[in-house]
């Protein structure tokens, strides 16, 4: 067992080194070529707050190069032609990417390796009609076609039983009507996993009644309305979409009719794990920045790293990162072992997203006025860290989940 763990860890390190090499050799030149555009929010986002066609084209180039190099499909299931990477491997890569590049390489983070659930070779594709999957899979694996996960709505975030989107039965299938909000990738997605109520009675009783449909985004009645400006940005990858009499057929059902809640919750749990690893990586990046600055910046005749107040900040940052990293690794091991880990993924999601905010805050404080500038990227990291406490369940929802699981008997820690 120990030998296998060592071997897997070595494999993960080799993948990470190869990934860094790919980014430096293939992606960095694209970013350099378009540096002026990438630095100008009026060119990244259009007047509706959606990612501009120019930015989308850059992202597409990176996706396709990553697919050719074999990185784009790393997180995908073997049955889909993916790398079938373990949870431990996924968190290792997520941490490494954000540790090396911080918050400043948006094209890298969004395009080289997609979310392990909501884009790319999503495991939801395994629940798709076999014939439909065969039709769509090649383009999705190549990065020429992309996906989005349309669950959240204006009144349905943490509580999915507030969904208003309905699928009304008609001859040959259903028509979808409703609005979705906070949907990442929708502006450039080719297909959407759309969640809608098909059984109002089961839904009202909170026993099910929600069905997931695989919808082409160019279908009549499917529209992406706006991007959502967030944390000082002109727009974002999160969007609002509308569904107006969108016709779907039984062939487009993902999984079983009326039983999509389990699919949705499975994706959220996986998202919490990878987000936690992202937080650890970003926090390590901020700590490295702070250590370098503390060893070079001088005040009162000595480096600021010699001042006890600064030392205390650095030590607190390291303590928080170490504890969170250890918890993430343990939770990944549980996932790989097939153990129930709802409580644990909630624990690490709440703690890691709160930790990275504190670490970025201290990093800015250590850098003083320079930390407030756009030059170092710390303020961008701070804004990114603050946003992470909301998606995939707020810190408050995580605490509710943890407490309820323990009260129900899942109290082992």
Domain ranges of the chain: 2-142, 147-259, 262-407
Burial string for 161-182 (b: 16+ CB within 10 Å, else e) reads eebebbbeeeeebbbbbbbbbb
State which fold the 2-142 domain adopts.
Butyryl-Coa Dehydrogenase, subunit A; domain 1 (1.10.540)
pLDDT at 5: 66
The tokens of 331 are what? 């939770």
Asked whether the beta carbons of 236 and 46 are under 8 A apart, the reply is no
Q: For 226, phi and psi rounded to 5 degrees?
A: -150, 160
Query: Top-level CATH class of 147-259?
Result: mainly beta
pLDDT at 252: 98
Q: Residue 340: how many CB atoms within 10 A of its CB?
A: 11
Tell me how far CA of residue 98 lies from CA of 93, 182, 231, 286, in angstroms: 9, 23, 20, 10
pTM higher than 0.75, yes or no? yes
| Host H or E run for residue 240 | strand 238-248
Mark the ranges of the chain whose per-residue pLDDT is less than 50: none
Q: Are 147-259 and 262-407 in the same CATH fold?
A: no
Asked whether the beta carbons of 226 and 175 are under 8 A apart, the reply is no
Query: Top-level CATH class of 262-407?
Result: mainly alpha
pLDDT at 232: 82
For 341, which DSSP code? -
Q: Is the dihedral of CA 367, 372, 376, 377 positive or negative?
A: positive
Question: How confident is the model over 202-218, as pLDDT tens digits?
Answer: 999 999 999 999 999 99
pLDDT at 156: 83
Distance separating alpha carbons of residues 346 and 399, to the nearest angstrom: 7
């Amino acid at each position: 067992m120990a030998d296998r763990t060592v071997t897997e860890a070595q494999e993960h390190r080799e993948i990470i080194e190869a990934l860094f090499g790919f980014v430096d050799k293939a992606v960095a030149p694209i970013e350099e070529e378009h540096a002026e555009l990438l630095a100008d929010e009026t060119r990244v986002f259009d007047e509706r707050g959606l990612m501009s066609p120019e930015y989308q084209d850059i992202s597409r180039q990176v996706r396709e190069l990553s697919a050719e190099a074999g990185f784009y499909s790393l997180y995908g299931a073997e049955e889909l032609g993916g790398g079938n990477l373990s949870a431990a491997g996924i968190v290792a890569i997520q941490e490494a990417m954000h540790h090396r590049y911080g918050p400043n390489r948006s094209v890298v983070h969004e395009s080289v390796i997609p979310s392990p659930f909501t884009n790319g070779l999503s495991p939801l594709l395994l629940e798709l009609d076999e014939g439909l999957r065969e039709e769509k899979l090649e383009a999705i694996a190549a990065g020429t076609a992309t996906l989005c996960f349309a669950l959240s709505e204006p009144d349905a975030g943490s509580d999915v039983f507030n969904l208003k989107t309905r699928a009304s039965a008609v001859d040959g299938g259903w028509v979808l009507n409703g609005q979705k909000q906070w949907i990442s990738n929708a502006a450039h997605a080719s297909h959407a996993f759309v969640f809608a109520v098909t059984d109002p009675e089961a839904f009202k009783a909170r026993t099910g009644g929600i069905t997931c449909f695989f919808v082409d985004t160019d279908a009549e009645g499917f529209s992406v309305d706006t991007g959502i400006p967030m944390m000082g940005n002109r727009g974002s990858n999160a969007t609002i979409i509308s569904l107006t009499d969108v016709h779907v057929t039984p062939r487009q059902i993902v999984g079983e009719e009326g039983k999509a809640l389990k699919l949705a919750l499975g994706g959220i749990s996986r998202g919490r794990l990878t987000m936690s690893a992202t937080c650890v990586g970003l926090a390590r990046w901020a700590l490295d920045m702070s250590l370098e600055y503390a060893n070079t910046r001088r005040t009162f005749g000595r480096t600021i790293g010699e001042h006890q107040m600064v030392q205390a900040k650095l030590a607190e940052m390291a303590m928080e990162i170490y504890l969170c990293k250890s918890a993430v690794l343990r939770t990944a091991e549980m996932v790989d072992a097939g153990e129930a880990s709802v409580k644990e993924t909630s624990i690490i999601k709440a703690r890691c997203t709160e930790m990275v905010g504190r670490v970025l805050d201290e990093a800015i404080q250590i850098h003083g006025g320079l930390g407030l500038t756009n030059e170092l990227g710390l303020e961008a990291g701070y804004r990114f860290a603050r946003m992470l406490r909301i998606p995939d369940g707020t810190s408050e929802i995580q605490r509710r989940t943890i407490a309820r699981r323990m009260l129900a008997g899942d109290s082992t820690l």
